[in-house]
Structure 1
């Protein structure tokens, strides 16, 4: 460790994006990141880079990135990706924008909108994302809704998702037992 104000050559270098990272979710997706925590030279630059590895049929579940927009490029495999517009846009309420991506294809996810990626192939898929934040945020919709601590009241979730409270209880139990 070095002095807080001392800047070193290695602050502007990181390795490891040439291989899969750590497990990201219950769907098998792994992530390797170059952000301000792994690459201190990014401090104040407002950028980061992520490598995603998706097993066959692996899912980066619907989520939001509250602090950044994302541009994704597929380098291997086939991904079905998409985002949903917010309900504040006139005549565009909850509109899905989606596409199947192949190697070399690029897709943009606007800041704060719910989006996802699904490997639709029988082989692994690999993609890289550039984000306009030095430390991107992530809020997985299902995890936040059904896996919060303490849990959100069943009545609220049942009404919000328009399902019976027994279904809410069942879904919450899946998140408790799997610790997601």
Structure 2
């Protein structure tokens, strides 16, 4: 009796409904489904912080730009830029000197450069990655809408010394809320 056509059809229907539910086609959202949608979205839309750096002929004052020059020297050690001293001028009866360097970006800096003009580049200073172990807080806001809050771990790049001072971020992570919407064909997706 276990192989009757009715039982086979019932088993196929049960298996199909389980497969359909596992693919995220259910309008109720779970933490696992929300995390998978956010992970997919974050791969195409990474979260990062930026700063501008100057290159080409750049002038430094020994007193006021010491930290900035050290940041460029650290980039040179890492292979992201090259520094070539063009001019050095000592001021008479002063402890302050001025230097003019020719700064060039190398191929190693390409993954961090977002925009570039003739004398300035916008670079990534901090990158954030999804902390899958940090959990997710899901709140369904309607039949087809939900909000999910996740933890993003902070990772400084070698350009972090150029980040604006006093940004006030003293934590190694941020919390970010994503809005999700249910699509009948593809399941739950992040809208922003």
Same fold, TM-score > 0.5, yes or no: no
Q: Specify the structure having the higher radius of gyration (Cα).
A: 2
> Greater share of strand residues, 1 or 2?
2
